[in-house]
Structure 1
Amino acid sequence: MYTTIQKWGNSQAVRLPKGLLEDAAMRENDRVEIKVENGCIIISRINKKHKTIEERLADYNGDYRSTEWDTGNPRGKEVW
């Protein structure tokens, strides 16, 4: 398959036909990684899924302690 690199705003773009995306198991709005290897542009789908709040809290060890800090006296027209 051949296509053309075209201007899109201040960047360049390559349109990917729907059939090509289907063959690669990709869809519109999928997050992808783009890298260059041996002079070739490689586009790969990112398979990272977002963690749920439960998954994020499972990694929490309960050790967090909030601290306050002194930002000093107001300067100029700052009013606190």
Structure 2
Amino acid sequence: MAKTLSRIFKNGNSQAISLNKTVLNQAGLEIGDNLVVEIESGAVKLTKKEKSIKDEIQDFYRNGGRYEEEEIDFGGPVGKEVW
């Protein structure tokens, strides 16, 4: 486990923790990720919150929401599937 120094600073009416890019990359985190915060025995554990399908759909539409896949041709009708 790599150790690094960070600092706590005031950000408006809140406090924030500064983490360098290397730490974020090693943890698989990106700017804007939502985190779950757990406190146990004086230690703070941050884990990335998994997105629900609702969050995924909302992000899709917030980011332009266009579906650009081409239609798949499965061939002509077979049997009694003609409508």
- The TM-score normalised by the length of structure 1 is 0.56
Question: Which 5+ residue runs of structure 1 have no aligned equivalent?
Answer: 54-80
Q: Name the % identity.
A: 32
AA in 2 matched with 1:2: L
**Equivalent residue for 2:38?**
35
Task: Identify, as 1 or 2, the structure richer in helix.
Answer: 2
Residues 38-77 of structure 1 mapped to structure 2, 5 A cutoff: 38-51=41-54
**Equivalent residue for 1:3?**
6
From 8, 14, 17, the equivalent of 1:14 is 17
For residues 6-62 of structure 1, the C-alpha deviation after alignment (integer angstroms, 9 at most, x for no partner) is 111111111111111100111111111112111111110012332478xxxxxxxxx
- The TM-score normalised by the length of structure 2 is 0.55
**Equivalent residue for 1:73?**
none
* CA distance in structure 1 between the aligned counterparts of 2:19 and 2:53, rounded to whole angstroms: 26
Question: Which 5+ residue runs of structure 2 have no aligned equivalent?
Answer: 58-83
- Aligned-residue CA RMSD in angstroms? 1.9
Task: Identify, as 1 or 2, the structure richer in strand.
Answer: 2
Q: Which segments of structure 1 move beyond 6 Å, counting only runs of 4 or more?
A: none
